[in-house]
Structure 1
Amino acid sequence: MVVNKMNWIGLPALLLLLLFNTGTSQSIIKTLPGYSGTLPFKLETGYIGVGENDEVQLFYYFVESENNPKTDPLIFWISGGPGCSGLSTLVYETVCFCTGPFYYDVADFDGSLPSILPNPYSWTKLYGFQVASIIFIDSPVGTGFSYANTSKGYSSSDKKSAKDNYTFLRKWLLNHPMLSKNRLYVAGESYGGKLVPMVAMEILLGNEAGLRPRMSLQGYIIGNGLTDPNIDYNERIPIAHRLALISDEYFELAKVSCGGKYDNPDPNNVQCLLALQPIKECVNQINEGHILEPKCKRLPKTDNFGWDLTFSKDDSVDHLVLQVSKQDRQWCRSQNYESCYVWANDLTVQEALRIRKGTIGEWMRCNRSISYEVNQKSVLHYHEIFSNKGYNVLIYNGDHDLLIPYMGPLKWIRNLSMTIDDDWRPWHVNGQVAGYTMKHKKNEFNLTFVTVKGAGHTPPEYKPKECLAMIHRWLSTRLL
């Protein structure tokens, strides 16, 4: 069932809406293939046009809080990649991210259309306690079900994506005026963490310029996010040493030979290159996303430590084949994503989601072929700007991630010149240590740093219960 709607919002706002409304659609989804009966939560999907003449059509999923959507926070979620679909976070990666309302039945998946089950750790529901409503967006263009009407429209970049996301959010809130005053947080993981402060800055500048609707931005949330590769990537060798993947001798030799700079070493520094070689051999067969899990043999092999800006190894399933029986293959976490491909490419599913026919080819969880320019190498200065204003920030990291190690945020957070309001200490779930946290403060700015014990690159994938407790406590009290 589809419900197209437009609430009366007053003449000035209505005029703005009419100016912005080209290419916009929204539908309430009552049922989905794979789920028996009516969905037990409110799911809305749709397109919003951005860019020149709305040539870019960004697809989204909106899940309303099951507690009190009129007052609960609104989270605008940006997926990683760049090029990974919001569907990953909404549906399938509830197994992984614990943010959406349901997940695939991976255990009984046989290659046919998978069943979907309610997610007990959804960030939109917590047994009557406040969590949030969430917008999941397929961005940048070419991601998931988002598409462009022109070939030129498919070109994107960090800066363009940030502006497109802001335009999307403005139009979306004009279509949903009842949520325009809700506390707003921009959130994302992995490469999405790089875009989070950029989008937050667009919101801040729009509010300061008096643009409507004025957004009630409270802060942002980043999980294992890229901030500055010179800092984040450089911590891969120190974390490998800390996690006992390389010896003291290898680490000390590299530290001296490379001067503590391991990422993109000087090609003329022969001693440094020689010191790095045995380190690369030690970690080459390690699963960088979570060092304790097997490295999927069907994923593209790497010939180095991944010094380039790439996340293609950690979650691609392009090379997985369903013909291989489960008992004859080694389990790899990425195999769980097979059901996502089958479900999202099913025509009845696409019809249920109200996907416009003929706008995309094969749906891919992470589209690595998008035309995307990395034109904002570091976003550290965005954090510096926000640290001088009254916002609240949550930075969380799985402590077994080798891609974006938790030691990176610890280092760049120190550059913000804040005071420690609550020093390093454990936080608990059900009486057990769930990780460690510390809180920083500068005037009205609050930054909470959290590690999730035993988690990898996408922490809620590994520790959904703990991450749900984390986000609930932080949104409610700022304390863990």
Structure 2
Amino acid sequence: MENTNTSFYLFLILLSIFLNFVLTQPAPENSLITQLPGFNGTLPSKHYAGYVTVEKNYGRNLYYYFVTSEGGNSSKDPVVLWLNGGPGCSSFDGFVYEHGPFNFEKPKTRGTLPKLQLNPYSWSKVSNIIYLDSPAGAGFSYSKNDSGYSTGDFQTASDTHTFLLEWFKLYPEFLSNPLFISGESFAGVYIPTLAHEIVKGIEAGVNPVLNFKGYMIGNGVTDRNFDGNALVPFAHGMGLIPDQLFEDATKECKGELYGRHRENIKCRSLLIRVDLAVGRLNIYDILEPCYHSPDTLVNATNVPHSFRKLGETVKPLPIRKRMFGRAWPLGGPVEDGIVPSWRQLSEGRAVLCTDDEVATAWLNNDAVRKAIHTVDKSVVKEWDLCSDTLIYDHDAGSMIEYHRNLTSKGYRALIFRSISKLLVVYLISSSLCKNLYYFIPIIYDDSNCSSYVT
């Protein structure tokens, strides 16, 4: 009997050692990025990239680019998942243009690579961040079967949850780190639905158990009524439309300040006047010029000629084809059902006011693609900021209940918006928080203020 007990305890010890070894294996070395074309010097932290298969029947494979934190405490710093919107936009949008580890300097000579300089404001200063191309069809992510490009809110959330579970098996040393998920634009749908899947998995005891703490959403899609009714009050508050037009539209449209209003012709005409008043402004940032090709007709606008000239850019490709990843560019809410592609909405025209020349040049360079471990061009021919490959069904409805359920369980939520973004405007966040019965603090930070020169 004593020998039996000894053997049993020895077995437990060996099993514990084995499991500890398996669960603490370091990140896969074949995913390590050792150098990046355009950057001279040593990378500020370890970078990894590769693919995770999330669905085997259709062969859906999601591409990720992982940046460990630069502060020397990557074993403790939070892991942050970043998703751009669309649906169908690559999260390299966030990597190149927003909070990635580098600033990309536009080359002076056409056809040469951008120069990469370290970004002092990168999120990787304080976190380990995963830039994920999701769903399959966005960026470098792909499906072996074309049927895999037909998806929706629920399927995308399930696939991304599977990605996280499999990713932490590849990088188990980060499993104990706090996990936050974040994104912008249509990620206002991606994030709450993904958070719901994560919490459901945690409560069901799915392994590995994710140390999920909360989520962040910037300029996110929320709900048909919230999103649709925010633009006109915002345009009025920013002085873009006159008081009389705002008052007439509010009264005549009876609280529904979006849609076609086929029955109410007077309301429709007033909303058309609002659209004309803000036409040709940069809908993603009204304080910035609207980027356009030099041969684009931009004379039919009240925007000053000098401001229009600032936005001239030469795009190397006839892009973009789907809703831009930083804000919803349709002047109205996201409707339930199949989300139309930009090509369908704009008859092939490029997305207004956007300039993705730098990202397009860098990410389609053969040396860059080799360095960051993408599949061969026979699988993903070229990188696009936003894809029109998807057939995407917005099938999850309003995000209000998702936010309510998640926050009621104690998960932290940060919902933020730019005060200069004409679409998916900040008034939505205010209205959402009030609907969830949360107090909205007014924060003054004079360190972000600069003086005026007149």
> Do they superpose with TM above 0.5?
yes
- The runs of 5 or more residues in structure 1 that have no matched partner are 1-7, 18-23, 126-130, 321-331, 435-480
Give the aligned partner of residue 307 of structure 2. none
Give the aligned partner of residue 241 of structure 1. 236
Residue from 78, 86, 90 that aligns with 1:81: 86
Q: Secondary structure at the match of 1:124?
A: helix
Residue from 378, 384, 389 that aligns with 1:364: 384
Q: Which amino acid aligns with 2:76?
A: T
Matched, 1:387 2:407: yes
Matched, 1:62 2:66: yes
TM-score normalised per structure 1: 0.75
Q: 1:177 to 1:378 in 2, by over 3 A?
A: same
Give the aligned partner of residue 276 of structure 1. 271
- C-alpha displacement at 1:231, in angstroms? 0.7
C-alpha contact (below 8 Å) 1:72/1:132 kept by paired residues: yes
C-alpha contact (below 8 Å) 2:407/2:413 kept by paired residues: no
Q: 1:29 to 1:54 in 2, by over 3 A?
A: farther
Q: 1:300 to 1:363 in 2, by over 3 A?
A: farther
C-alpha contact (below 8 Å) 2:290/2:354 kept by paired residues: no
C-alpha contact (below 8 Å) 2:283/2:353 kept by paired residues: no
Give the aligned partner of residue 257 of structure 1. 252
Matched, 1:180 2:175: yes
Q: 1:152 to 1:120 in 2, by over 3 A?
A: same
- C-alpha displacement at 1:294, in angstroms? 2.6
Give the aligned partner of residue 120 of structure 2. 120
- C-alpha displacement at 1:350, in angstroms? 0.9
Give the aligned partner of residue 291 of structure 1. 286
- C-alpha displacement at 1:224, in angstroms? 0.7
- C-alpha displacement at 1:109, in angstroms? 5.5
Q: Secondary structure at the match of 1:398?
A: coil
Tell me the distance in 1 between the aligned counterparts of 2:349 and 2:229: 30
Give the aligned partner of residue 307 of structure 1. 332
Give the aligned partner of residue 161 of structure 1. 156
Residue from 423, 430, 453 that aligns with 2:441: 423
Q: 1:16 to 1:65 in 2, by over 3 A?
A: closer
Give the aligned partner of residue 355 of structure 1. 374
Deviations 1:61-99 (A, max 9, x none): 000001201111110111111111122222x21xxx2x2
Tell me the distance in 1 between the aligned counterparts of 2:171 and 2:112: 37
Give the aligned partner of residue 103 of structure 1. 103
Give the aligned partner of residue 4 of structure 1. none
More strand by share: 1
Q: 1:428 to 1:198 in 2, by over 3 A?
A: farther
- C-alpha displacement at 1:370, in angstroms? 2.1
Q: Secondary structure at the match of 2:42?
A: coil
- C-alpha displacement at 1:233, in angstroms? 2.5
- C-alpha displacement at 1:153, in angstroms? 1.4
Give the aligned partner of residue 340 of structure 1. 359
C-alpha contact (below 8 Å) 2:217/2:415 kept by paired residues: yes
- C-alpha displacement at 1:333, in angstroms? 6.6
Structure of greater Rg? 2
Instruction: After TM superposition, list the pairs within 5 Å mapping 1:198-217 onto structure 2.
Output: 198-217=193-212
- C-alpha displacement at 1:33, in angstroms? 1.2
- C-alpha displacement at 1:137, in angstroms? 0.4
- The sequence identity of aligned pairs, in percent, is 35
Size of the alignment, in residue pairs? 393
Tell me the distance in 1 between the aligned counterparts of 2:297 and 2:391: 21
- C-alpha displacement at 1:427, in angstroms? 2.6
Tell me the distance in 1 between the aligned counterparts of 2:139 and 2:330: 29
Deviations 1:355-410 (A, max 9, x none): 12121112101113422222123211100101211121111111011110000111
Matched, 1:141 2:136: yes
C-alpha contact (below 8 Å) 2:258/2:271 kept by paired residues: no
Q: 1:307 to 1:333 in 2, by over 3 A?
A: closer
C-alpha contact (below 8 Å) 1:76/1:135 kept by paired residues: yes
Q: 1:77 to 1:354 in 2, by over 3 A?
A: same
Matched, 1:31 2:35: yes
Q: 1:384 to 1:213 in 2, by over 3 A?
A: same
Q: 1:197 to 1:319 in 2, by over 3 A?
A: same
Q: Which amino acid aligns with 1:29?
A: I
Deviations 1:156-193 (A, max 9, x none): 21111111100000000111111111111010011112
Matched, 1:414 2:434: yes
Tell me the distance in 2 between the aligned counterparts of 1:292 and 1:135: 30
Tell me the distance in 2 between the aligned counterparts of 1:118 and 1:344: 18
Instruction: After TM superposition, list the pairs within 5 Å mapping 1:448-459 onto structure 2.
Output: none
C-alpha contact (below 8 Å) 2:107/2:113 kept by paired residues: no
- The runs of 5 or more residues in structure 2 that have no matched partner are 1-14, 302-328, 335-339
Deviations 1:298-357 (A, max 9, x none): 4899999733648959xx9x978xxxxxxxxxxx9733x212111111111111112121
Q: Secondary structure at the match of 1:65?
A: coil
Q: 1:14 to 1:261 in 2, by over 3 A?
A: farther
Q: 1:87 to 1:425 in 2, by over 3 A?
A: closer
Give the aligned partner of residue 48 of structure 1. 52
Deviations 1:417-472 (A, max 9, x none): 23x3x732313436x389xxxxxxxxxxxxxxxxxxxxxxxxxxxxxxxxxxxxxx
Give the aligned partner of residue 309 of structure 2. none
Q: Which amino acid aligns with 2:373?
A: R
The structure showing larger relative contact order (alpha-carbon pairs under 8 Å, at least 6 residues apart) is 2
Q: Secondary structure at the match of 2:92?
A: helix
TM-score normalised per structure 2: 0.79
Tell me the distance in 1 between the aligned counterparts of 2:342 and 2:118: 29
Q: Which moved more, 1:299-308 or 1:34-43?
A: 299-308
